[in-house]
Amino acid sequence: MKLGIIKEVFKNVFTKPMTLLFPFERLEIPERNRGEHSFDIDTCISCGACARICPNLALEMIEAPPEMKEKYPKTYPQIDIGKCCFCGLCEDTCPKGSIKLTTNVFLATFDKDDTVRSPMSWNK
């Protein structure tokens, strides 16, 4: 029994710890991870399927601002990350693959309004 403890101590001295030193080392986030959304407005066909399937009503179809109305005449999804439950149903339902969930999981903001992503300012 005592020898077993010594063996365990030596094993633990030479093995890597279970934890990571976070800002310097990071856990690899898999590709399928459901993080922040990316949206490509040019491929969007304004079908509204994403807004209909969203369980938390986080997606809303809005019109483009007047200066961009000529280029984008239809309605496009605006997302409130604060309401989103990151289920990924919008990604699955999109017929053109315009909405995708990315590996970015750092979404904390200082301002509440920053949680709303308008279709023009969404990252691609």
Partner 1 sequence: MTKINEQKVNSDFAMNFGPAHPGSGNFAIKVEMRGERVLKATADPGYLHRGFEKLMEYREPMQNSVLSDRVCVLEPLQWNLVHAEAVDYLMGYEIPERAKYIRVILAELSRIQSHFIWYAVLSLGTGFMTGFNISIGYRDYILDVLNLITGGRVYPAGYICPGGIRKDFPEKAENKILELLPKIDYMRKFMLKENPAWLSRFKEIGVLTKEEAIKFGATGPVLRGSGVAADVRRDDPYEIYDELEFDIPVMDEGDALARFNVGVQEIEESMKIITQAIERLPKGEVRTPTLKPIVKFQNAKGEIYIRNELSRGEGAFYMVATGQKTPYRVKIRGPSFTHMIPIVEHLLTGVDYADVPAIYWSLYQCPADVDR
CA–CA dist 76, 61 (Å, integer):
5
Residue 93, interface with partner 1 (CB under 8 A)? yes
- Phi-psi group of 6: left, alpha or beta (phi > 0 → left; psi -120 to 50 → alpha; rest → beta): alpha
- Binding to partner 1, residues 55-74 (CB under 8 A): 55
75-80 vs 37-39, strand pairing mode: unpaired
Residue 27, interface with partner 1 (CB under 8 A)? yes
Residue 34, interface with partner 1 (CB under 8 A)? yes
Asked whether 58 and 84 are in contact (CB, 8 A), the reply is yes
Using the minimum distance from each CB to partner 1, give the nearer residue, 26 or 71. 26
Residue 21, interface with partner 1 (CB under 8 A)? no
Residue 32, interface with partner 1 (CB under 8 A)? yes
| Footprint on this chain of partner 1 (rule: CB under 8 A) | 18, 27, 29-34, 53, 55, 85-89, 92-93, 101
